[in-house]
Structure 1
Amino acid sequence: MIDQQLKSVIRDIPDFPKQGVVFKDITPILKDPKLCGAVVDGLLASLPANPIDVVAGIESRGFLFGLTLAQRLGKPFVPIRKVGKLPYHTVKQEYTLEYGNATIEIHEDAFAAGARVLVHDDLLATGGTVIATSKLIQKLGGSIAGYAFIISLDFLKGREQLHAFSPHISSLVSYG
């Protein structure tokens, strides 16, 4: 099963990026092309049945599989980036995460109003970055078709925060 395969390669990095945080490192997944393919297949299998018009990936690890998801779905890919990284006119959203404050951006012309957007990131923790992403999408007139994560840290209750935007929340691996 994909969850056991992933748990066998995802490594814990204690006290990164700050004291008390245990970072889940997905880079060992990238060493195995077959496992990468299984991740994409697993994410695709977990998607909601409702229509998806666009896939948005959150910087930076959300780009790794988000673009491939978009390609496999035959949909456009939209990068959600840290402030100052996108070259065109942007819309910004500030937010708080478990180890500081941040701002993310999206191009103002990333998709047409009314688009149903699948949000992808490698990991769901408290939900701060994903909520900010969801608000950006709504600012542009889009709606959240669902969320697809590789990892969910369920003990941080981020999943509960996302239900206000979409009931379709999937992850390949959960840590209770």
Structure 2
Amino acid sequence: MIKTVRRFFLFSLALSCLTSTALSIDVHAAEKDSTRPAVGDTAKDFELATPAGKQVKLSDQLKKGPVVLLVLRGYPEYQCPVCTRQVGQFIANAAKLKEAKASVVMVYPGAAQDLEKRAEEFIRDQSLPENFYFLVDPDYKFTNAYHLRWDAKRETAYPSTFVIDTDGKIKFAKISMTHRGRADVKDVLQALSE
């Protein structure tokens, strides 16, 4: 009986320590959240390249119309099937996005080594419409600047979607803290119409 009570006490103590550690991690994560882009913020300008080396700059795209910015997971040791579905959904709605005068800028982050090769694998079976840009983010420079780095084993970036108006202001933002929970193209089209 005493051993059972002692084990229960030790188990409860260990669980309490783990819970308080988890809560302190959540508080730290919440503090970081305030630095991530949000609705009403001005989007930081950036310039990244396609896997083929063509440079694309956010401010140049904004001169043409609003920008839908999709931050993908890159290659966390595999091609993300949820990213593949999300990109497919946006490509399937390319005509509606073009009608809204929007360009879609997709960012594929990762370590510089083999990033272009992995990016080409990801997009190989996709035919990108003229208003879509698929860019690589070697060594997470963009991802870190936007505070979207998911720095855990087999992770790269928090999957995120932003609608940036021509004045550079973010009018829609969805940052998923999991692999799922991505922005739906319907929500993006709604934000573009407002």
- Common topology (TM > 0.5): no
Higher normalized helix content (fraction of residues): 2
Normalising by the residue count of structure 2, what TM-score does the alignment of the two structures yield?
0.28
- Greater radius of gyration (CA): 2
Higher normalized strand content (fraction of residues): 1
Normalising by the residue count of structure 1, what TM-score does the alignment of the two structures yield?
0.31
**RCO higher in 1 or 2 (8 Å CA, sep ≥ 6)?**
2
